[in-house]
Amino acid sequence: MPTVKTKDGIEIFYKDWGAGQPIVFSHGWPLSADDWDAQLLFFLNRGYRVIAHDRRGHGRSTQTADGHDMDHYADDLAAVVAHLDLQNAIHVGHSTGGGEVVHYIARHGESRVSKAAIISAVPPLMVQTPTNPNGLPKKVFDDFMVALAANRSQFYRDIASGPFYNYNKTGKPAEATIQNWWRQGMMGGAKAHYDGIVAFSQTDFTEDLKKITVPVLVMHSEDDQIVPYVAAGPLSAKLLKNSTFRSYKGFPHGMPTTEAETINADLLAFLES
C-alpha cells in the first residue's frame, strides 16, 4: 500500500489516482479515505488528479496512541503533500477534515495551495463557550467519549443510522450506506477516535480562518445534526478573506455521500470559476 512516513514515524496511507491538477481530500471522523469514493471517481473522470489519505489512527494508517490533535493532523497532511510534491493543489475537507484543511493552510502556508473547500466542517469552533454560545455543550462530546469507550460498534451504528445522514428524520435508512460508515469507523483505532473527539470539538480555528487568503468554498446544510449550522458554516465564511458560501436545506451532515450529485456539481463549478 502507498504510504508516507511522518517525522514521528507514523505511516500515513494514501490513494493517488490520475493526472492533472491535484485535489486533496481530508475525511471526517472516524472514517477513512473511502468516504470520498463519490468525489474521487467524479473528479478523476473530469481530468483531475485525486488524492485522499487516512488520518493517523484511522483506516489503514498506523494505529498510534499519540498525536491525535489538529497540529499532527495538519503536519501529516503536509507530509503527504510534500511526499507527492503537489503544486497548485485544491484541498477539500469534510467535517473534521475541514478543520484539518483550515489548520494545514494556516500552519504550512499557501505556496502549494490554489483553492480550498470545507463541507459540513467543524470550524470555527464546535464546543459551546461564553464567546461561542451557539456551540454544543461540552457534555455532548463527553457523552460521545463515554459511549465510544463502552461499545464503539454500537455507538457507530447509532450515529450512521441516525443523525449523520438524517435517517432519524427521513425514516428512509440506506442499509449499505450505514454499513459502509460502520466498516470505515471500525477499521480505525479506538484511541485515535476517542482523542479525536476532543480534537474536532475543542480546537478553535478562528485565527486560522483569518490567515487564509486563497479562495475557499464553504458548504453547510441548515439541517446538519452533527455540526450545528449556526455555529459553523456562516461564521467561517465571514472570517475568511475570500470565501464563497453555499447553504443547503434538508441535506444531512454526510451530504457528500447522500447528495453527491449536488455537492460534486457545486464543487466543480467553484473549481472551474
For residue 227, what pLDDT is reported?
A: 98
Q: Is it true that domain 3-271 has CATH number 3.30.420.40?
A: no
Q: Which residues are catalytic?
A: 95, 224, 253
Model confidence pLDDT, tens digit, residues 146-171:
999 999 999 999 999 999 999 999 99
Closest CA to 28 of 262, 193, 172: 193
The C-alpha atoms of residue 145 and residue 162 are separated, in whole angstroms, by: 18
Model confidence pLDDT, tens digit, residues 165-216:
999 999 999 999 999 999 999 999 999 999 999 999 999 999 999 999 999 9
With 90 as the cut, is the pLDDT of residue 32 above it?
Answer: yes
Mean pLDDT on 64-85 = 98
Give the three cell numbers for residue 168: 432519524
Mean pLDDT on 63-89 = 98
For residue 1, what pLDDT is reported?
A: 87
pLDDT bin (cut points 50, 70, 90) of residue 125 is very high
3-state secondary structure of 138: helix
The C-alpha atoms of residue 70 and residue 272 are separated, in whole angstroms, by: 30
**pTM for the complete prediction?**
0.98
Could you tell me the residue ranges of all domains in the chain? 3-271
Model confidence pLDDT, tens digit, residues 90-108:
999 999 999 999 999 999 9
Model confidence pLDDT, tens digit, residues 217-231:
999 999 999 999 999
The C-alpha atoms of residue 24 and residue 47 are separated, in whole angstroms, by: 14
